[in-house]
Homo-oligomer: A and B are copies of this chain.
């Protein structure tokens, strides 16, 4: 499989959602400048992304929407629906559960873990919550490759270590600390404090 830039992967995820909406409107083809306008990026970027995806367009009709959606899906969706694990069912964890509830079926949070006895064994926002003791066995047996980490900062590293030990290959990290992980585990950090400080900084620059 050829090398597709991470930024392109992110945009392909967005394109797919935009294209699904466009297809629902009855459109069958789309020009790069139209998709660019919807995604708020440049047409050149769209064409380069679609080239990386392996799609070819037609100068008179643009790109086939169904072909684009299909190719993105081949790339982003596993053939078998992917299970995702959530660790940490606090305020943020619950918001994440409700956010993903009923979205793309190919990518569902299918199990959650928390150390709080009052949460374990229950179903929270439609998701079974298990204890931390059950984490390794569950993730290993169900062959879960990706997890969302929504635990407090001080528990983040030890929790990440458990996930790695269980065989996790990717972590979406909402804790405000970086994770020390082996090279073969992918991490995406979504620290809110950093994001807010960045926005405040750039908001202040143009006064």
Residue of A95, A103, A186 most packed against chain B (CB within 10 A): A95
Q: Mark A1-20, 1 if CB is under 8 A from B, else 0.
A: 10000100110011001000
Chain B contacts for A198, CB-based, 8 A: 6, 9-10, 13, 188
A180, CB-defined interface residue at 8 Å: yes
Shortest distance between the CB of A152 and any CB in chain B (Å): 10
Contact A184 B200 (CB under 8 A): no
Q: Which of A154-207 contact B (CB under 8 A)?
A: 168-172, 176, 178-180, 184-186, 188, 190-207
Q: How extensive is the interface on chain A, given as a class?
A: 35 or more
Give the residues in chain B near A38, CB-CB below 8 Å.
178
The answer to whether B40 touches A180 (Cβ under 8 A) is yes
Q: Across the interface, which residues of B come within 8 angstroms of A76, CB to CB?
A: 197, 200-201
For A39, the chain B residues whose CB sits under 8 A away are 178
Could you name 20 residue pairs across A and B whose Cβ atoms are closer than 8 Å?
A1-B205, A9-B202, A13-B198, A17-B176, A76-B201, A78-B204, A82-B200, A82-B204, A91-B98, A91-B99, A95-B95, A99-B192, A145-B200, A145-B203, A145-B204, A146-B196, A170-B204, A186-B199, A186-B202, A190-B190
